[in-house]
């Protein structure tokens, strides 16, 4: 009797688990499906019936329209985004892995000093304005493509994540290489990096995602439309729509702005996340691994 | 005689110290060189800007420069806390949004991790985890676009549902009162999948024999969750929550601007310290906004230090970083 009662309670917990997780999963998927569906719908149907999760009168006209009309701006923004993602990620990985390797070597006397210099920047910062003034007045980053790369090229978090991986490598490997006459840079390049392929991939993807999704640096530094990354281009479109829907922008101010059609907004959104959508199944596990490693450290 | 001896010993020691430094630099030159690029970036973007915080105590103008402008003491800070500025309101918004963010950011991911663990079907696990993790990959701009799809007055999903239910549709983008809630919810939506992975990692390290023993002793699933899983998740939960508390004075600029954009009607209710700094930079000049940023950093420093101390207490000497 008690056994059956218990198993009923257990079954309830299991059932609830399926429902809860299932619903939460759908809640995360639904908005995406909605966006995709609207971008593939005909504009007239969407205005008539509102957004829906199944395409209404399936058509790829919106995408065709975008590439024919604002194709040049989107194409340009795409190129900017790809450029900063590739250049930024490669640079960031080199810079991050070198310092992470250096302070993972236990015989390095001042490694704690260096770690402290890094850590301190997480705990205390000068704030936006001094940073902005220095970047614009002294480094000349206004309307400079380097403004989209340099400020985020070194993440202390990612560095510590990498150091965790590097410190699992046995020091005796380094000693052996040193006896064979290899310098530390050679050891880093020929031993540490190849042994930490997963770590390199994980951190590299985190950087790549950060660069791909960045629009903050563009908001701060870039006025020149030619240098707009994709995310920022989407932001400018949506921000105008948003301001106009508040209903309090004076008619004169909004007269010059034409609202893009609903399907266009969603199609631009899909174009923006396109590569993430395609790569997601492949890269997901690396991110999970990265998060788990970071968590273990804590 | 004695004095001289003392002096020479001291000199020897300092010489030895320098010797150690020089020898270390020579021996590990390559390793130190490998740190240089990262350190240059930190100096450029984190340490040199510290000099600029001086602007907070001056009435900055471009002609006189950072150190030539008139010194005004704490006037900028006083103005921030006076009735003439939005100071208190902005602090309130920041703390309000973060407070509920922290609570949801604790309950929801822990629940996900616990219930996810009860699911046996591998396919179901794989699919749902992919869905739940996906929002983490979207920028706040994209999330803003999605939210627009829900709350747009004419075509948005929410208003269509309200009409179906014979209720009055709402002009969401002209109604400030809903947006704190929407933002808190969006934050939860974006981060829950990510945070739940951290708790799953913690659960993967649990001692399975404890659970088997409990099962043999006749504890049902709910009892095992309440008596074993939750207490064992506590250290991880405490550390993560302390970390968020340490950052409670920091708003998420991207989240606010990505979702609300430059909508003038909604801005007031969701302006947090970070967005306020950005706005005042453009309207009230560098000195005032620098002061607010400095205030925020100081609060952050104090809270993070306290949180770190607390974490050490809970976590057997292991701090947050």
Mean pLDDT, chain A, integer = 84
What ipTM score was computed for the predicted complex, to two decimals?
Answer: 0.86
Residues 258-317 (B) with a CB less than 8 A from some CB of A? 258, 260-266, 274, 277-278, 281, 286, 289-290, 292-294, 296-297, 300-301, 304-305
Domains of chain B, with CATH numbers? Answer: 2-47 (no CATH), 76-314 (1.10.3720.10)
> Inter-chain contact B300–A94, Cβ cutoff 8 Å?
no
Residue B218 in contact with partner chain A when CB distance is under 8 A: yes
**CA-based nearest distance A203→chain B, Å:** 14
A-B contacts (CB, under 8 Å)? 326
pLDDT tens digits, residue range A141-157? 899 999 999 999 999 98
Whether residue B149 and residue A127 make contact (CB cut-off 8 A), yes or no, is: no
Q: Is B233 on the interface with A (CB under 8 A)?
A: no
B261 Rama sector, left if φ>0, alpha if ψ -120 to 50, beta otherwise: left
- For B48-62, the DSSP string reads THHHHGGGGGEE--T
Nearest to A134 among B32, B52, B115 (CB): B52
State whether A287 and B159 contact (CB < 8 Å).
Answer: no
* Residue-by-residue pLDDT tens, chain B, 321 positions: 455 555 666 767 776 777 888 888 888 888 899 999 999 999 999 999 988 888 888 878 777 777 777 778 777 888 788 777 788 889 999 999 999 999 999 999 999 999 998 888 889 999 999 999 999 999 999 998 889 888 887 778 888 888 888 888 888 888 888 889 999 999 999 999 999 998 988 888 888 888 888 888 878 888 888 888 888 888 888 888 888 888 898 888 889 988 887 777 888 888 898 888 888 888 888 888 888 989 999 998 999 888 888 888 877 666 665
State the virtual CA torsion across B69, B75, B81, B85 in degrees, nearest 10.
Answer: -60
B111/A135 Cα distance (integer angstroms) = 43
Strand B58-59 versus strand B70-71 pairing type:
antiparallel
Q: Which two tokens stand for residue A33?
A: 């499906």
Segment 118-147 of chain A within 8 Å of chain B by CB: 118-119, 121-135, 138-139
> Which residues on chain A are in Cβ contact (under 8 Å) with B120?
14
Query: How many Å lie between the alpha carbon of B5 and the closest alpha carbon of chain A?
Result: 30
Q: Which of A89-98, A259-268, B281-290 has the highest mean pLDDT?
A: A89-98
Chain A interface, mutation test: which of B25, B27, B49, most A Cβ atoms within 10 Å?
B49
B185 vs A: CB within 8 A: no
Which of B48, B260, B266 is nearest residue A134 as measured by Cβ atoms?
Answer: B48
Strand partners, B71: B58
- CB pair distance less than 8 Å for B24 and A109: yes
Least confident residue range of A18-27, A85-94, A208-217, B6-15:
B6-15
Q: What is the DSSP letter of A147?
A: G
Place A295 in a pLDDT band, splitting at 50, 70 and 90. low
Residue A95 has pLDDT above 90, yes or no: yes
Contact status of A99 with chain B (Cβ, < 8 Å): yes
Out of B34, B204, B297, closest to residue A124 by CB: B297
Contact assessment for residue B221 and residue B107, using Cβ atoms and an 8 Å cutoff: no
**Residue-level pLDDT at A297:** 46
| B67 vs A: CB within 8 A | no
With b for 16 or more beta-carbon neighbours within 10 A and e for fewer, the A111-125 pattern comes to beebbebbeebbebb
Q: Which of A9, A96, A110 sits opposite B24 (nearest CB)?
A: A110
A148 touching B (Cβ < 8 Å): no
Interface residue A72 vs chain B (CB under 8 A): no
Phi/psi of residue A278, nearest 5 degrees: -70, -40
Gyration radius from chain B CA atoms? 27
- What's the whole-number average pLDDT of chain B? 85
Rounded CA separation B170/B161 (Å): 11
B3 to chain A nearest CA, in Å?
33
Instruction: Quote the minimal CA–CA distance from B4 to chain A in Å.
Output: 32
- Closest residue, chain A, to B255 (C-alpha): A216
**Would you call A9 and B221 a contact, using CB atoms and an 8 Å cutoff?**
yes
**Short-list A103, A85, A75, CA closest to A159:** A103
The Cα A74–Cα A70 span in angstroms is 6
What pLDDT sits at residue A5? Answer: 57
Query: Could you give the C-alpha distances from B239 to A23, A34, B32, in angstroms and in order?
Result: 28, 36, 33
Nearest chain B residue (CA) to A161: B321
Q: How far apart are CA B2 and CA B6, in angstroms?
A: 6
Decide if A15 touches B, using CB distance below 8 A.
no
Using CB atoms and an 8 Å cut-off, which of residues 29-58 of chain A contact chain B? Answer: 29, 31-32, 34-35, 38, 46-47, 49-51
Among A78, A73, A133, smallest CA distance to B56 is for A133
CA distance A68 to chain B (A): 22
pLDDT at A298: 39
By CA distance, what is A139's nearest residue in B? Answer: B44
């Amino acid at each position: 009797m008690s056994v059956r009662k218990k198993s009923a309670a257990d079954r309830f917990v299991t059932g609830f688990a399926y429902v809860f997780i299932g619903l939460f999963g759908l809640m995360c998927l639904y908005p995406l499906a909605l966006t995709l569906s609207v971008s593939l719908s005909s504009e007239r149907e969407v205005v008539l019936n509102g957004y829906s999760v199944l395409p209404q009168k399936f058509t790829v006209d919106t995408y065709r329209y975008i590439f024919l009309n604002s194709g040049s701006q989107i194409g340009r923004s795409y190129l900017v985004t790809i450029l900063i993602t590739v250049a930024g990620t490669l640079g960031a990985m080199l810079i991050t892995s070198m310092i992470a390797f250096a302070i993972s070597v236990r015989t390095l006397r001042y490694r704690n000093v260096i770690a402290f210099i890094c850590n301190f920047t997480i705990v205390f910062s000068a704030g936006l304005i001094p940073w902005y003034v220095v970047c614009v007045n002294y480094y000349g980053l206004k309307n400079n493509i380097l403004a989209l790369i340099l400020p985020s090229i070194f993440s202390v978090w990612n560095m510590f994540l990498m150091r965790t991986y590097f410190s699992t490598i046995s020091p005796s490997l380094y000693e052996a290489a040193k006896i064979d006459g290899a310098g530390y840079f050679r050891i880093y390049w020929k031993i540490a990096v190849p042994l930490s392929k997963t770590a390199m991939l994980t951190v590299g993807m985190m950087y790549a995602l950060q660069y791909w999704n960045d629009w903050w640096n563009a908001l701060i530094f870039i006025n020149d439309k030619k240098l707009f990354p994709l995310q920022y281009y989407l932001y400018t479109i949506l921000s105008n729509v948003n301001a106009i829907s508040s209903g309090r922008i004076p008619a004169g101010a909004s007269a010059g702005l034409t609202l893009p059609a609903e399907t266009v907004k969603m199609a631009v959104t899909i174009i923006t996340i396109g590569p993430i959508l395609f790569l997601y199944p492949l890269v997901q596990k690396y991110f999970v691994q990265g998060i788990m490693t970071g968590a273990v450290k804590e | 005689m004695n004095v001289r001896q003392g002096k020479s010993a001291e000199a020897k020691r300092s010489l030895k110290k320098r010797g150690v430094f020089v020898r270390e630099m020579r021996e590990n030159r390559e390793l130190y060189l490998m740190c240089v690029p990262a350190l240059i970036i930190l100096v450029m973007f984190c340490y040199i800007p510290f000099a600029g915080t001086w602007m907070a105590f001056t009435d900055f103008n471009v002609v006189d420069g950072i150190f030539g402008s008139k010194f005004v003491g704490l006037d900028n800070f006083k103005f921030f806390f006076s009735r003439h500025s939005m100071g208190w309101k902005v602090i309130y918004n920041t703390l309000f949004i973060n407070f509920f963010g922290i609570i949801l950011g604790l309950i929801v991911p822990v629940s996900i991790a616990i219930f996810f663990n009860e699911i046996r079907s591998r396919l179901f696990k794989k699919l749902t985890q992919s869905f739940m993790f996906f929002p983490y990959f979207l920028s706040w701009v994209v999330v803003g676009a999605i939210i627009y799809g829900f709350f747009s007055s004419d075509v948005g999903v929410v208003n269509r549902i309200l009409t179906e239910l014979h209720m009055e549709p709402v002009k969401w983008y002209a109604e400030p009162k809903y947006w704190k809630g929407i933002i808190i919810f969006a934050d939860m939506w974006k981060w829950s999948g990510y945070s739940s992975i951290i708790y799953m990692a913690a659960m993967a390290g649990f001692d399975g024999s404890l659970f088997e023993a409990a099962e043999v002793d006749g504890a049902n699933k709910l009892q095992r969750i309440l008596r074993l899983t939750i207490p064992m998740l506590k250290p991880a939960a405490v550390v993560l929550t302390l970390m968020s508390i340490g950052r409670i004075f920091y708003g998420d600029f991207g989240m606010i601007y990505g979702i609300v954009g430059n909508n003038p009607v909604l801005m007031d209710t969701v302006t947090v310290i970070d967005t306020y700094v950005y706005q005042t930079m453009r309207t009230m000049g560098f000195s005032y906004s620098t002061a607010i940023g400095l205030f925020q950093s100081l609060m952050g420093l104090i809270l993070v230090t306290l949180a770190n101390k607390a974490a050490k207490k809970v976590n057997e000497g292991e701090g947050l970083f």
